[in-house]
Amino acid sequence: MSNEIHFKVLIFMSLFCFLNSFAQNPIVPNKGLNDPHIHIFNDTAYVYASHDKSIKNKKFIMEDWWVWSSPDLVNWTKRSVLNPKDTYIGKDFTRCWATDVAYKNGKYYWYFSEGNQQTGVVVGDTPVGPWKDPLGKPLLTSELTPTDEYDMAIFEENGEHYIIFGVWDYYIAKLNYDMISLSEKPRKVIINNPRGPYNQDGKNLEKPTDDKPFVHKYKDTYYLSWGCFYAISDNLYGPYDYKDTVIKQESFAKGYDAPTWPNGFLQGRHGSFFEWNNQWYYTYCDISQTGNRYFRDTFISYIHYKENGEMATIRVDGVGVGNYNANKKIEAEEYFKAEGFQKKEGKNNFFVETIANKSFLYFPNIKNLTDKSKLKINVASKNGGKFAIEIVKNSLKGQTIANKVFDLPPNSIKTQEITINLETLKYKENIFFLINQFTNNQLQIDSFSFSK
């Protein structure tokens, strides 16, 4: 990249950040943080990621691996660097590819890709190390399977851990209790009718999927994903049935749909799915703000599951997650934390519904509240009943800034708007919605907005 182009990109990104004070995607701009796997340890989010060296890159140059942490998915701090010299690689290396981590018996095991050939592991006493290579050699060697042994993911269930890896064809194996050896020979994962960025019509049998597999579980279903493509199964080992992509053309907010990869916006979305505080997320790579496929950013979007088990199309924008603009409508299902609520699929959208007599929703980092004096909430109830909503700041026992008791008649299926007067607010507030249902009938909340 020329100096002139580099300068223009930096000016554009600085102007973008200035104009959009609500932007949170990318989560750490201008750093080259990519291939993200986010895990929650001790109520803190940690992203384990690869690292593109420079916005001037003309090829993939990745000299180390990073760990960043956040208390809220909004504010991130760099916590740890793994240098290939401190692993069995033992020298400078420019192909520090994707990573993942697992916790067991008081230890944290950080798995890393030696380019597109092998997988190693280091171990630490904390989520950020310090790290030690317990093997002094690869865990997954290049001759282990017919695929390439890299871009691994770790899946945990009932205290057991499994490693999934490969490109085009994926393999899975259970890890031993020591987390640094395999307890079985890797098995090939069968995917029926696969698609991928190079195989969008199903005809490319040589490159049917992609690299960077990941597995997560929602309810009783296993989701095998590669970038934004995914398949589902009722068995961890498969077979899996291809379903869809979570990114579509309609996903993109203005300014986030281009530039993108040579094969289009479905390519290069390496990442992972994770749950925190009863909310699901997808974290993934994006190049729309850097303009360089060799200097990638990390984005996070909400994930909502349909009644049939499929994942709904995500929104790709600068607002991100855990971050809200009081000048716009806020969807209730995009909470940061909830108890006593469940997400539900409506005809054209999602909403939340109480499943307990006392419940709450938490929305931190709501900005632009200085001149707001009213809160309008869109609610419904199939059976009707008497309800109370109390709005408090900063904690469940924080200062009350509004409250309202109201009744809904039976069959209040159509959303109704209730208005609550607010006390004086600061520019940014952390707000809890405390819900009390007096008649054991469920309350639905679709969205809310603030006004003067």
Q: Where residue 94 sits, what CATH number does that domain have?
A: 2.115.10.20
Higher pLDDT, 413 or 235: 235
Q: Residue 65: pLDDT above 50?
A: yes
Mean pLDDT of 278-299: 98
Tokens 């408090």 sit at which residue?
392
Question: What residues are paired with 281 via a beta bridge?
Answer: 274, 302
Average pLDDT of the chain?
94
Q: What's the token pair of residue 11?
A: 């000016």
Q: Tell me: do 46 and 72 sit in the same domain.
A: yes
If asked whether residues 316 and 382 sit together in one domain, one would say: no
Indicate whether 143 pLDDT > 60: yes
* pLDDT (average), residues 195-213: 97
Distance between CA atoms of residues 241 and 157, nearest Å: 21
Domain count, the chain: 2
Say yes or no: 49 and 157 in one domain. Answer: yes
Asked whether residue 313 falls in the same domain as residue 335, the answer is: no
Does one domain contain both 277 and 344? Answer: no
Q: Please say which residue of 277, 299, 322 terminates a domain.
A: 322
Domain end among 289, 322, 355:
322
What is the tens place of the pLDDT at every residue in 66-79? 999 999 999 999 99
Give the rounded percent of residues in the chain with a pLDDT score beyond 70: 95
Same domain? For 331 and 283 the reply is no
Which whole number is the average pLDDT over 234-255?
A: 98
Integer-rounded Cα Rg, in Å, for the chain is: 23
pLDDT, tens only, 352-401: 999 999 999 999 999 999 999 999 999 999 999 999 999 999 999 999 99
Same domain, yes or no: 252 and 330: no
Residue 22 pLDDT level (bands cut at 50, 70, 90): low
Supply the DSSP string of 356-374, one letter for each residue.
Answer: SSEEEEEEEEEE--TT--E
Answer yes or no: do 333 and 309 share one domain.
no
DSSP per position, 271-298: EEEEEETTEEEEEEEE-TTT--TTS-EE
Binning pLDDT at 50, 70 and 90, where does residue 260 land? Answer: very high
Q: Are residues 351 and 296 in the same domain?
A: no
The CA distances from residue 220 to 192, 217, 238, 272, 351, in Å, are 19, 7, 13, 19, 22
Contacts of 68 (CB under 8 A, 6+ apart): 27, 28, 33, 46, 47, 49, 76, 77, 78, 79
Domain with 381 in it = 325-451
Q: Are residues 329 and 316 in the same domain?
A: no
Q: Which of 303, 322, 341 is the last residue of a domain?
A: 322
CB 376 within 8 A of CB 449: yes
Per-position DSSP letters for 200-260, written without gaps between them: TTS--SSSSS-S-EEEEEETTEEEEEETTEEEEESSTT--EEEEEES--GGGBPTTSS-S-
**Same domain, yes or no: 260 and 288:** yes
> For position 395, which CATH number holds?
2.60.120.260
pTM: 0.94
Greatest alpha-carbon pair distance for the chain in Å reads: 71
266 and 146 within one domain: yes
